[in-house]
Amino acid sequence: MFELIIFEILGALETSSRYFHWKFNLYVILLFLIFVVPFYIGYFVVSNIRLLQRQKLLFACVVWFTFMYFFWKLGDPFPILSPKHGILSIEQLISCVGVIGVNLMALLSGFGAVNCPYTYMSYETSSDHGHDHQQEETEWIEYSKTFQGKYFNFLGYFFSIYCVWKIFMATINIVFDRVGKTDPVTRGIEITVNYLGIQFDVKFWSQHISFILVGIIIVTSIRGLLITLTKFFYAISSSKSSNVIVLVLAQIMGMYFVSSVLLVRMSMPLEYRSIVTEVLGELQFNFYHRWFDVIFLVSALSSILFLYLAHKQAPEKHMTL
């Protein structure tokens, strides 16, 4: 699906071919996310319970129907369901999957937006002057003088500023109840060109910069999700739960991918959004962006409070030793 987004920006393949592959991929991934993977998760969970071994297929079906009930009920509190579409239409399925995935993305992004500058600043402002720390600090200073060190130092500052800016913009979007209609790359280039008063091909460069930006967003978001989930599942894994963990990971990743398409769409110039909008159907795209901002901000503020309390307790423990 992410390759299809890149193909959309590059103009690879015929429009009809891209449309067909969009539809095909969406139906396949929704089939697995809603029917296949949840059923097998229930099946392997039941298989690990000795009392249910003889009727595990029956109980697996019960677990799957329970999942389906709560899956459809999930959309009731949100303005995402439309009576115009059938219960198994692609719009209805993506709407429900999108709510779960957007919540997951917003929670992880909110924590990452706070943890990134906090982790980077902890290297710069640490007050621990033990022998081990002094050695680490010396190695850090020497490393920061190298080309690679300067490169990562620049990235640290850049992403720290970006994370703070993202929290600020999420707050502005919520307060003023706004959703951007122009992708940030095109808007940024237009503001710069108008301010400097220079001749510049905005359409040409916004296409190429959007291609790079979408690629970075995809790679970093997937990497962050995989690192977080790997740590969590590694902590709870066992010989009996390995199959369930793999399937749960596949379920989360699938929902994350579908939701990423909903949100990455806003980072694409208008001419490249049309086929994505047509394939996804009549979805409430503005709702997903507003909801992402709300959960993102709640997650970020909760992370700030958590890190503040953890940082405040650390010196107190150090003083009592």
194: pLDDT strictly greater than 80? no
- Collect contacts of 271-279 with beta carbons under 8 A, ≥24 apart: 272/8, 272/9, 272/210, 275/8, 275/15, 275/18, 275/19, 275/22, 276/5, 276/8, 276/22, 278/19, 279/19, 279/22, 279/23, 279/26
Residue with the bigger pLDDT between 55 and 220: it is 55
- pTM for the whole thing? 0.69
The angle, 0 to 180 degrees and rounded to 10, between the axes of the packed helices 242-264 and 202-236 is 160
252: pLDDT strictly greater than 70? yes
Amino acid code (one letter) for 130: G
Using a pLDDT cut of 70, give the percent of the chain over it.
62
Mean pLDDT, rounded, for 133-146:
68
Question: Cα–Cα distance between 260 and 264 in angstroms, integer?
Answer: 6
Q: What are phi and psi of 188, to 5 degrees?
A: -65, -40
In this predicted structure, what is the pLDDT of residue 104? Answer: 82
Residue with the bigger pLDDT between 258 and 36: it is 36
Assess contact for 111 and 301: CB atoms under 8 A: no
In this predicted structure, what is the pLDDT of residue 137? Answer: 63
Mean pLDDT, rounded, for 6-11:
71
Tens of pLDDT, residue by residue over 142-160, are: 766 777 777 767 766 776 7
Domain boundaries, the chain: 2-113+165-320
Assess contact for 109 and 299: CB atoms under 8 A: yes
The continuous run of DSSP H or E covering 123 comes out as helix 90-125
Assess contact for 183 and 206: CB atoms under 8 A: yes
Residue with the bigger pLDDT between 216 and 265: it is 265
Tens of pLDDT, residue by residue over 161-181, are: 777 777 787 788 788 776 655
In this predicted structure, what is the pLDDT of residue 267? Answer: 63
Q: How far apart are the first and last CA of the chain?
A: 54
